[in-house]
Amino acid sequence: MANVTNIMLQGTSSHVGKSVLTAALIRCLKNRGFRVAPFKAQNMALNSAVAQDGGEIGRAQAMQAEAAGLAPSVHMNPILLKPTGDSQSQVIIQGRVFATMSAREYHAFKKEALKYVLESYSKLAETNDIIVIEGAGSPAEVNLRENDIANMGIAEAVESPVLLIGDIDRGGVFASIVGTLELLEYDERERIKGLIINKFRGDKALLDPGLEFLQNRTGKAVIGVVPYFTDLTLPDEDSVSLESRYDNRAGDSGKVKVAVVKLPRVSNFTDFDPFKDDANVEMSFITTPQEIEGADLLILPGTKSTLSDLFWMKTRGFGPAIKEHLARGGMVAGICGGFQMLGRAIKDPYGVETGPAEGSGLGLIEATTVLGKDKKTFEVAAVAKYRDKDYEVKGYEIHMGETIVKGQPFSKVLERNGKPGYFPDGAASADGMVWGTYIHGIFDNDLFRGALLSSFNKGISTEARSFGDVKRDSLSSLATIFERNVDMAAVLKVIGV
């Protein structure tokens, strides 16, 4: 690790923009010719991705890898925690399921977890000039300071300087920054080399007295004020962001109305990012059956607890409402756990999930799912059949269990993790108005997405804008925003390059 250097971005709380600003800094450094990699020692997220070797990591680290021009690696996020209930999480180490632990059990395990974290950091250090580390939550969570591997603990272990980010859009940014610094130990405060204020709206001149106050009060310089922006397509890790709505009143906007059920334990909701950028689509995340009215396409997304979320849907009356939606000519699609819900039954003989051992599904396709002990994670290439036409698609699978289907599969998976084969995937009704698949990222595929949207007879062309181009343009624009609003000379000095 002699030739590698680093920098860490921590936040005053969750959801202050650490993941996005980490990606921005990575792209800025890449543009300067550095070999740079992202690293997040411990991530708690239900949005995950499949790395190049088939292991599972946080979705944000996959996006940051893209910013760096790298293939995602399990070493970019060695510890991934996926909540399975109110006090338990599935612990994934270097891409593979290690155990399910309570919060207390995991806290005691962190000393052991550190060795995996440092091993992964060393792997990245072998092939990179700079490692940009993202913190988790806040470094001022004093109850979690012992054996910390997410914030100052890892900064100390790899001798990394820190930039502290505060979110001004939430309000109270001065108190959150000052309070965070007050709760840190002296040597931890000394690690913080600069402050960044994120999500600023308005006239920056009005902010200047506050910046001067922070400098005088903390002795730390504000090296950047990043504006609030909404026009870039970047993945969210936190379901708090799922607040978009469509107008389901009478009338037709000429757009395809897509409603996604916001399940209590919804996962991999970045599956629907291609719709957010599409001018032909109005998308909503819904929580009541009444909100289905007016939708053309209803989607049941992935979930970390399929049986519990299925029970939640039934108790809220989604079952009859979905059948009424189909009777009106609407379409229903299910992704991963949502696909499992479409079938006749889901069984959990090994107690993989917390909650009921089995439950009847919505009965919209002839399929039965049995949850298994082993998680399956694959990057896949497949051929999906839609309206009697085949479309080449790519994506990834992350699921526990197998679904036995009677009838036509939705797609034929021809490659998993680079190895050829044939694996039937998903299911579709005879009229094509109900379909499900295990393939996350299915809507990222432009030709398939264009064909799907054009089938709703809204006069939409099948030629959709490349979602890959949208993401690349967003990352380039993000780096430009960072360059214009953050003192990069100061950042490079902190890094030591």
User: Is 49's pLDDT higher than 70?
Assistant: yes
- Contact at 8 Å (CB) between 413 and 405? no
Amino acid letter for position 38: P
Q: What is the mean pLDDT of residues 329-354?
A: 94
- What band does 352 get if pLDDT is binned at 50, 70 and 90? confident
Q: What is the mean pLDDT of residues 50-56?
A: 91
Return the beta strands (E) in 105-215 as ranges. Answer: 130-134, 162-167, 192-200
User: Is 235's pLDDT higher than 90?
Assistant: no
Amino acid letter for position 249: R
Q: What pLDDT is attached to residue 230?
A: 85
Positions marked catalytic: 336, 440
User: Is 245's pLDDT higher than 50?
Assistant: no
The structure tokens 């479309």 sit at 391
- What band does 2 get if pLDDT is binned at 50, 70 and 90? low
- Contact at 8 Å (CB) between 375 and 399? yes
Element (H, E) at 485: helix 467-485
Residue ranges of the domains in the chain?
Answer: 5-232, 244-464
Joined tokens for residue 14 = 């969750």
* Of the ranges 169-183, 233-247, 453-467, the best mean pLDDT one: 169-183
- Contact at 8 Å (CB) between 161 and 494? yes
- Identical topology for domains 5-232 and 244-464: yes
- Contact at 8 Å (CB) between 87 and 44? no
Q: What is the mean pLDDT of residues 418-446?
A: 95
- Whole-number mean pLDDT of the chain? 93
Return the beta strands (E) in 301-366 as ranges. Answer: 302-303, 331-335, 345-347, 358-360
List phi, psi (to 5°) of 32. -90, 0
Q: What is the mean pLDDT of residues 257-268?
A: 95
Say if strands 130-134 and 96-102 run parallel, antiparallel, or are unpaired.
unpaired
Q: What pLDDT is attached to residue 237?
A: 56
Entry pTM: 0.90
Return the beta strands (E) in 14-84 as ranges. Answer: 36-39, 42-44, 48-50, 56-58, 79-83
- Contact at 8 Å (CB) between 212 and 248? no
Domain covering 244-464 in this structure, CATH number: 3.40.50.880
Joined tokens for residue 209 = 């007295």
Q: What pLDDT is attached to residue 276?
A: 86
Distance of CA 366 to CAs 409, 418, 421, Å? 11, 30, 25
**CA-based nearest residue to 168, from 209, 225, 115:** 225
Beta-bridge partner residues of 6? 131
| CATH among 3.40.50.720, 2.60.200.30, 3.40.50.300, 3.30.1130.10 for 5-232 | 3.40.50.300
- 394 vs 442: CA distance, rounded Å: 7
Q: What is the mean pLDDT of residues 325-340?
A: 97
- 449 vs 275: CA distance, rounded Å: 9
Sign for the CA dihedral angle at 222, 227, 233, 239 comes to: positive
Burial 394-433, CB ≥16 within 10 A → b, else e: ebbbbbbbebebeebbbbebebbbeeeeebebbbbbeeeb
Higher pLDDT, 47 or 69: 69
DSSP structural state of residue 464: P
Q: What is the mean pLDDT of residues 27-54?
A: 95
- 475 vs 370: CA distance, rounded Å: 40
User: Is 17's pLDDT higher than 80?
Assistant: yes
The three-state secondary structure class of 150 is coil
Beta-bridge partner residues of 333? 299, 435
Sign for the CA dihedral angle at 277, 279, 280, 286 comes to: positive
Joined tokens for residue 467 = 């979602």
Sign for the CA dihedral angle at 96, 80, 68, 126 comes to: negative
- Contact at 8 Å (CB) between 149 and 55? no
How many other β-carbons are positioned within 10 Å of the β-carbon of residue 147?
A: 14
